[in-house]
A and B are shown apart, each in its own frame.
Chain A
Amino acid sequence: MSDQLIAACERVLALVGTDAEAEVTVSSGTETLTRFATSFIHQNVADAARRIHLRVALDGRVAEASGNQTDDDALSRLVRSTMDAAALQPVDPGWPGLAPAAPAPAVEHWDDATATAEPAERAVRVGDFVAAADGLETAGFCSTDGTAVAFANSAGQRLTGRSTTALLDGIARTGTADGSGRAASARIADLDGSVVGAEATRRARDATGAGDLEPGRYEVVLGPSCVVNILSFLAIYGFNGRAVDEGRSFARLGKAQFDAGVTLADDVSHPMAVGVGFDAEGTPKRRVELVRAGVTSGLVHDRRTAKALGAESTGNAISGAGPWGALPVNLVLEAGSSSSDDLVAGVERGLMVTDFWYTRILDPRTQVVTGLTRNGVWLIENGRVRRPVTNLRFTQSFVDALAPGALLGVGSDLTLVGGAAFGTSAYVVPSLHLAAWNFTGGARG
């Protein structure tokens, strides 16, 4: 497959010729998703996906285009229209040029069984999840993706990679409460519908009979999906070179902006990660440390923001990201040594939260975000879980939540969570115990 894709890249570069700088990405694979609700499979899809993306710079005049047809006529049209468009553009003073030839790290987050998984294999896992719910209503999905990608540019860079992802994510519902369970891996064999379904069922039953709680500031134990949500905002609006360049970011290099227990890096080579070893501009990925023991120590860049800030690209360009800038897609938050029970035991009076929902930023500089809890919240008193609580709305600065002194415990439960940064990434994180979280209202008003 890689040979075919790189050959397609070469065909496009040959059509562009030597008059322009050009970079080409060709990807191909299968994306599948089996969805269930009210305990039956109601949507089940597979896409034989293919994409050719071309960016050219004609004397600093830049245009890009994409298509999904690979016959000679289609590729010729793609090249011609992109070149024509570039010729009509003004010179782009921020054009950073092409990535130089350099090898990418040898990551191989690939599993043949996942790439070729049949719908029946996903249905078995869904069936196991439904059965584990023991009569409770269930909903969720099981997906398997396998994508190969090739990159080539007229500066001599040639790269190929491939990645698989398998996800199982669902809820069990008692009628008055929902509980969630999820698993993510590069290998479908790691997804056990019975285990994930049982976890969701336990949470749903434990969350049943919830009572209201007065809003206010509480200690919290946040599950991995909540932590991923927090990091997504820090990534998009904070550690992003573009946000820093535009003065919208909170990040201040060299400053102790976080608790000393926070060490955060973007690292596609992590054994639990998914993805390929280079970015949309053909820059090799590397481990980028963003926070070291609470001190902001790095930013992610694409070539444009790197040029603007006098830095080097970190291999975090995202295709189609446009004005958003670079994004870390493989964040890893360093785990601690506390078990889930230890985290709870350390709480004097607070809340244990499974998931966040519909989080939106009020101001990127302060990182004040509003959102709600979902799929299980429990009151903890004197180190013990006392009772389930109805969902709450919060309005909280995510930077303040992790500020020096605010991190009271870090879990050992390092977990890969897909769908980070609003669907584009997968982060590896533990649970966290935080000193304060500002709940501003009950979800029922």
Chain B
Amino acid sequence: MEAALAAGARYADARVMDRRHEAMNARNGEVEGLTQDGSVGLGVRALIGSGWGFFSTPDLTREAAQAAGAQAAAIARASASVPGKDLELTPVEVRKDSWQNAVQEDPLGVPLSEKGDLLVGVTRTMSEHGADVALAGYDIWDTTKWLVSSEGHRIDQRIRECGAQMNATANGENETQRRSYPGIRGQYGTRGWELVRELDLPGNAARIAEEARELLTAPECPSREATDLIIGSEQMALQIHESVGHAVELDRILGWEAAFAGTSWLDLAQIGDLRFGSELMNITADATLPGALGSFGYDDEGTPAHPVDIVKGGVWVGVLSGRDSAALAGLSESGGAVRGDGYNRLPMVRMTNVGLLPGGSSLEDMIAATDDGILMDTNRSWSIDDKRLNFQFGCEIGREIKDGKCGRMIKNPTYTGIGPRFWGSLDMIGNESEWTFWGTPNCGKGQPGQIGHTGHPSVPCRFRGVRVGVRG
């Protein structure tokens, strides 16, 4: 950091990150892979004029660190040769602090044999109950990082995360059907191995395998231009992630992601006035939620984690931001949403825990209140346009709903819509007892590519007049 300043940077920060990752996967009753990765290194960020420069190295010697600082400044100077307006940074309280998340059972301390037995057992069970392909796996991350900034930040954090997933595929003559548990991306959090134990993979393995097989002979999801749609909380997490979370990233709104991830349909001039959804819709971005995958003590710019209102009573009121994007947008403070994927990636705006606050209904209430509709859950496919408006999502399983009762299983359920129209049709929302902090461990963004860990508290919801059953 000092070397970057000496080379002309008006602001600089440096991050050392030491991360261990362990993953194991099993297939059809056999452990097929165990990987243990470690990376440690230094990333330096320097600001000159309108341009950031970032240089990273796995060498942690004093000489390498000084060279990295000087390189970061040289890169920032090159950035300034194709200039924009000088970037400012919103003020943030300078802290010297340590933080770590609560963990009951260190996931890396659980014997490999025990973890392997779990995966072997559930894949064997799925195979015995009709799965042609039975897969299961877990991931564990143990990250320690240290941040210093030219403003005086001195922050270290240790964040431990883990989770697991399994799925069963049944092959038909000209199709495949799959069921996943607890969701297509599994379930992950900033917690210890207790999270995996609570999932009860063994207690669900037979069921999902049988459901995958049953889907092969289930009727197709009907094609309807408008129907009542009840969405389970796992699919709702995806719905929130794609159509709200990415849409409210301030870097996208400012056009910084225009060529790749895209922009946003949201216009900053309308913040505080624009109706995003029905009055039942309340969305927050809250990195302080204990155990959720998008939780931390400080973001990678040293901004303390804090809750941010995103949609309140259906009105768009907030964004996900960092210090530079917030300043450019005229906001008074950063939303504390800047993180980098490893020491060698430039921190950028990422979702924290972007989630839906619970309401007063239950899934049971929604079914009982629906005369003719469809229930869908567990994401299978997802596609949304570059403005985060037009989406088409597919789920693994659906159920017909007739006269307030859940009916027969249907396969290949899909639905499509336009963000604000769709959210405007939200008329029932699940209650606090159904509130689940879903974790997405594979959110891609940025160039070079970065994988983000995001959280999505969600509940089942009902929407009216939704187009379903789109086919190829």
Write out, one digit per residue, whether chain A residues 120-149 have a CB within 8 A of any chain B CB (1) or not (0).
101100110010000001011101000000
Q: Is B120 an interface residue (CB 8 A)?
A: yes
Q: Which of A424-445 contact B (CB under 8 A)?
A: 438, 440-445
Task: Compute how far the CA of A143 lies from the CA of B382 in the bound complex, rounded to whole angstroms.
Answer: 29
Task: Compute how far the CA of A120 lies from the CA of B71 in the bound complex, rounded to whole angstroms.
Answer: 12
Task: Compute how far the CA of A395 lies from the CA of B416 in the bound complex, rounded to whole angstroms.
Answer: 12
- Option from A41, A67, A374 in Cβ contact (under 8 Å) with B82: A41
Task: Compute how far the CA of A127 lies from the CA of B79 in the bound complex, rounded to whole angstroms.
Answer: 10
Q: Which of B106-142 contact A (CB under 8 A)?
A: 111-113, 116, 120, 132-133, 135, 137
Could you tell me if B82 and A36 are in contact, using CB atoms closer than 8 angstroms? Answer: yes
- Option from B55, B172, B383 in Cβ contact (under 8 Å) with A372: B383
If A48-B59, A69-B40 touch, whether A42 touches B256 (CB-CB below 8 Å) is yes
Nearest neighbor of A319 in chain B, beta-carbon distance: B35
Nearest neighbor of A86 in chain B, beta-carbon distance: B34
Could you tell me if A92 and B58 are in contact, using CB atoms closer than 8 angstroms? Answer: no
Task: Compute how far the CA of A94 lies from the CA of B26 in the bound complex, rounded to whole angstroms.
Answer: 12
Q: Is A313 an interface residue (CB 8 A)?
A: no
Nearest neighbor of A396 in chain B, beta-carbon distance: B472
Task: Compute how far the CA of A258 lies from the CA of B107 in the bound complex, rounded to whole angstroms.
Answer: 48
- Option from B33, B51, B83 in Cβ contact (under 8 Å) with A64: B33
Which chain B positions have C-beta within 8 A of A395? Answer: 392, 470-472
Nearest neighbor of B114 in chain A, beta-carbon distance: A88
Which chain A positions have C-beta within 8 A of B416? Answer: 393, 440-441
Could you tell me if B390 and A443 are in contact, using CB atoms closer than 8 angstroms? Answer: yes
If A362-B381, A362-B472 touch, whether A139 touches B171 (CB-CB below 8 Å) is no
Which chain A positions have C-beta within 8 A of B78? Answer: 34, 41, 44, 118-120, 122-123
Task: Compute how far the CA of A180 lies from the CA of B389 in the bound complex, rounded to whole angstroms.
Answer: 21
Task: Compute how far the CA of A85 lies from the CA of B196 in the bound complex, rounded to whole angstroms.
Answer: 21
Q: Is A39 an interface residue (CB 8 A)?
A: yes
Task: Compute how far the CA of A179 lies from the CA of B322 in the bound complex, rounded to whole angstroms.
Answer: 29
Could you tell me if B169 and A359 are in contact, using CB atoms closer than 8 angstroms? Answer: no
Could you tell me if B31 and A90 are in contact, using CB atoms closer than 8 angstroms? Answer: yes
Could you tell me if A393 and B256 are in contact, using CB atoms closer than 8 angstroms? Answer: no
Could you tell me if A38 and B392 are in contact, using CB atoms closer than 8 angstroms? Answer: no
Nearest neighbor of B177 in chain A, beta-carbon distance: A363
Which chain B positions have C-beta within 8 A of A90? Answer: 30-31, 116, 120
If A42-B51, A45-B75, A127-B82 touch, whether A359 touches B39 (CB-CB below 8 Å) is no
Could you tell me if A444 and B175 are in contact, using CB atoms closer than 8 angstroms? Answer: no
If A248-B133, A374-B386, A397-B472 touch, whether A89 touches B82 (CB-CB below 8 Å) is no
Q: Is B218 an interface residue (CB 8 A)?
A: no
If A39-B84, A66-B38 touch, whether A358 touches B383 (CB-CB below 8 Å) is yes
Task: Compute how far the CA of A42 lies from the CA of B132 in the bound complex, rounded to whole angstroms.
Answer: 49
Q: Is B418 an interface residue (CB 8 A)?
A: yes
- Choose the segment among A168-176, A285-293, A346-354 that binds chain B (4+ C-beta atoms closer than 8 Å): A168-176
Could you tell me if B390 and A393 are in contact, using CB atoms closer than 8 angstroms? Answer: yes
Could you tell me if A441 and B447 are in contact, using CB atoms closer than 8 angstroms? Answer: no
Q: Is A19 an interface residue (CB 8 A)?
A: no
Which chain B positions have C-beta within 8 A of A360? Answer: 381-383
Q: Is A320 an interface residue (CB 8 A)?
A: yes
Which chain A positions have C-beta within 8 A of B412? Answer: 362-363
Q: Is A43 an interface residue (CB 8 A)?
A: yes
Task: Compute how far the CA of A92 lies from the CA of B30 in the bound complex, rounded to whole angstroms.
Answer: 7
Could you tell me if B344 and A89 are in contact, using CB atoms closer than 8 angstroms? Answer: no
Total B residues in contact with A, Cβ cutoff 8 Å: 86
Task: Compute how far the CA of A39 lies from the CA of B345 in the bound complex, rounded to whole angstroms.
Answer: 22
How far does the Cβ of B465 sit from chain A's closest Cβ, in whole Å? Answer: 12
Which chain B positions have C-beta within 8 A of A48? Answer: 55-59
- Option from A65, A78, A92, A400 in Cβ contact (under 8 Å) with B35: A65
Write out, one digit per residue, whether chain A residues 356-378 have a CB within 8 A of any chain B CB (1) or not (0).
01111111111011111010000
Most chain B CB within a 10 A radius of its CB, from A127, A371, A395, A423: A395
Q: Is B356 an interface residue (CB 8 A)?
A: no
Nearest neighbor of A245 in chain B, beta-carbon distance: B133
Nearest neighbor of B113 in chain A, beta-carbon distance: A88
- Option from B33, B120, B348, B472 in Cβ contact (under 8 Å) with A62: B33
Could you tell me if A46 and B75 are in contact, using CB atoms closer than 8 angstroms? Answer: yes
Task: Compute how far the CA of A90 lies from the CA of B124 in the bound complex, rounded to whole angstroms.
Answer: 14
Could you tell me if A362 and B394 are in contact, using CB atoms closer than 8 angstroms? Answer: yes
Which chain B positions have C-beta within 8 A of A24? Answer: none
Could you tell me if B389 and A362 are in contact, using CB atoms closer than 8 angstroms? Answer: no
Q: Is B203 an interface residue (CB 8 A)?
A: no
If A37-B255, A141-B447, A397-B472 touch, whether A44 touches B392 (CB-CB below 8 Å) is no
Task: Compute how far the CA of A43 lies from the CA of B52 in the bound complex, rounded to whole angstroms.
Answer: 6
Q: Is B421 an interface residue (CB 8 A)?
A: yes
Most chain A CB within a 10 A radius of its CB, from B83, B259, B344, B390: B259
Q: Is B282 an interface residue (CB 8 A)?
A: no
Could you tell me if B418 and A370 are in contact, using CB atoms closer than 8 angstroms? Answer: no
Q: Is A337 an interface residue (CB 8 A)?
A: no
Could you tell me if A248 and B385 are in contact, using CB atoms closer than 8 angstroms? Answer: no
Q: Is B448 an interface residue (CB 8 A)?
A: yes
Task: Compute how far the CA of A365 lies from the CA of B380 in the bound complex, rounded to whole angstroms.
Answer: 14
Could you tell me if A44 and B52 are in contact, using CB atoms closer than 8 angstroms? Answer: yes
Q: Is A49 an interface residue (CB 8 A)?
A: yes
Which chain B positions have C-beta within 8 A of A442? Answer: 390
Which chain A positions have C-beta within 8 A of B346? Answer: 43, 45
Could you tell me if B41 and A40 are in contact, using CB atoms closer than 8 angstroms? Answer: no
Write out, one digit per residue, whether chain A residues 77-88 have a CB within 8 A of any chain B CB (1) or not (0).
010011001101
If A65-B38, A85-B34, A365-B176 touch, whether A393 touches B392 (CB-CB below 8 Å) is yes
Q: Is B81 an interface residue (CB 8 A)?
A: yes
Write out, one digit per residue, whether chain B residues 395-439 have a CB within 8 A of any chain A CB (1) or not (0).
000000000000000001010111001000000000000000000
9 pairs of A and B residues whose beta carbons are closest in the complex? A40-B84, A119-B78, A368-B472, A445-B418, A139-B259, A41-B79, A139-B258, A247-B171, A68-B58
**12 examples of A-B residue contacts, CB within 8 angstroms:** A40-B51, A40-B84, A43-B348, A45-B75, A63-B36, A85-B36, A90-B30, A123-B82, A127-B81, A127-B82, A141-B259, A248-B133
**Beyond known contacts A119-B75, A364-B176, A393-B385: 6 more, CB 8 A cutoff:** A46-B71, A78-B38, A88-B116, A365-B171, A395-B470, A445-B390
